[in-house]
Chain A
Amino acid sequence: MPMAPNTEAIDQHLKGFVQALHAAVNRAVPHVQDDPKLVDRAIEDCKEILDVVLEGNVSEWLK
């Protein structure tokens, strides 16, 4: 089956999302005890990204 023309772009975009989530979690975890504000902000940033992924408006990502 031929690949959809935007498969690679979507793949790159999803990788970017996953790496950002990973980086946010890595940044927050060491500060769970000492910097709750940083942790809260990281959680909010992760939620923002996950909301966009769940919404699934792929054409918006690729604009």
Chain B
Amino acid sequence: MDIIVCAKIVPAASVTIQIDPAAKRMVRKDIPQELDPQAACAVEEGLRLVEKHGGSVTILTMGGEDGTIGIRNALAMGATAAIHLSDPALAGSDTLGTAKALAEAIRRERFDLILCGTESSDSYAGIVPGQLAQLLGIPPLTFAKEVSIEGRKVTIKRQSESGYDVVESELPALITVTTGINEPRYPTLKGIMGAKKKEIRKYTAAELGLGPNEVGETGARERVLTVGRPPARQAGKVIKDEGEAGKQVADFLASLKLI
């Protein structure tokens, strides 16, 4: 079972995210980075599947050199190897450009299963996995809260509003996992020391056969038009109990049609 985990490296949780007002993008350069917690769940699921069925877990990520620490995090958790798409020509790619680059890298690998987080915890777009499955011509199984494999058949429990749906597919397939699927392991000393000996292969856009019309700033079809803060929450209504608080609460809930 050869598994590729598409993992984003994001600003560390301790960092207050800043937006570059000119580029309308998140500032990512020269700030501490880490493996996206959502991707860590995908890495963990990949490791558990390989522990059960044998095989390899390869981490695939796209981003600047600052992302190496996040790749090492995943390797220290136990991943077998990593592929880093790091090239200024890829900078500024939109979601489709990102999916194209990931797909081209994946086509150069042997794989049975692609695992992704449902969405990254910095931009929360959640678009790339679907695009990636389409480009690779494999079925996407999304929002998995449980994954099991039997032979060439993969089954997931797909999180829904009211519970879960059971979804099956033949391999190869792409699965997006929810954060509730597992608790990612943390790297141990042995894992950290072993990670630095593991292979990180690198590809440029040209090596993937991708030109400026497909990836990077010029290849991007999405444009961020404005970036703003969400509206401030309105102050709540305080009800003092002077004998009629219960009635006032009931009236308030009735006004919202909650009772």
Interfacial residues, chain A to chain B (CB-CB below 8 A)? 12-13, 15-17, 19-20, 23-24, 26-27, 42, 45, 48-49, 52, 61
Contacts and interface: CB of A to CB of B under 8 A. Distances in A.
B19 interface: no
Contact of A45 (B32, B72, B186, B195): B186
A26 B187 CA distance: 12
Contacts of B32: 15
B189 A16 contact: no
B214 interface: no
Nearest to A47: B189
B95 interface: no
B183 A17 contact: no
A13 B187 CA distance: 13
B252 to A, nearest CB: 35
Given A15-B32, A49-B192, A20 B68 contact: no
A47 B198 CA distance: 25
Interface residues of B, number: 19
Contacts of A20: 76, 186-189, 191-192
A43 to B, nearest CB: 12
B34 A19 contact: yes
A61 B195 CA distance: 11
Interface of B: 32, 34, 68-69, 72-73, 76, 183-189, 191-193, 195-196
B35 to A, nearest CB: 8
A48 B189 CA distance: 7
A19 B69 CA distance: 9
Nearest to A48: B189
A42 B186 contact: yes
B195 A16 contact: yes
Nearest to A15: B69
Contacts of A27: 183-186
Contact of A16 (B183, B184, B185, B192): B192
